Amino acid sequence: MSVEESSPLVRKSDLAEEFMQHVEAGSSKIRAISVISIIVAVLLAVSYVYQIFLPLATGTRFVQVDLADPALLALEVVLLVVVLVWFLIGLREYLFTVRLTKQVREIRRLEDEFAKKLGLDEVTEGQPN
């Protein structure tokens, strides 16, 4: 191990590179989970809205239960609120990963520009090739 390799600057650079790789790998997983959460939340929200407005729009009040029962409507509204919160969390996480991915791309672009300014063709693990 040379003196350069053990310097704190090189170790910090290596850790930053490992972190960036970890962020890039995790970003796609978080995005996929967020998209699935958004889809499920939308389906549930549509289902609950349909259940709330069905008895009001069609005039059907009794099937097996009283669809206009205040307790049932209150429960459906509570479930709708929970689903909407779930949707907002999924949307927030998705937007976060989109912004994070853009920032990582920008950092990679700046690293490449910096390497070109230094006259390096490619930089691997903080060491010029």
User: Is pLDDT at 1 greater than 60 in this prediction?
Assistant: no
For residues 82 and 88, give the distance between their C-alpha atoms in angstroms, rounded to a whole number: 10
Given a cut of 80, is residue 16 above it in pLDDT?
no
Q: Mean pLDDT, the chain, as a whole number?
A: 79
Radius of gyration for the alpha carbons in the chain, expressed in angstroms and rounded: 26
Q: Is 125 left (phi over 0), alpha (psi -120 to 50) or beta?
A: left
Can you say whether the dihedral through the CA atoms of 57, 61, 64, 69 is positive or negative?
A: positive
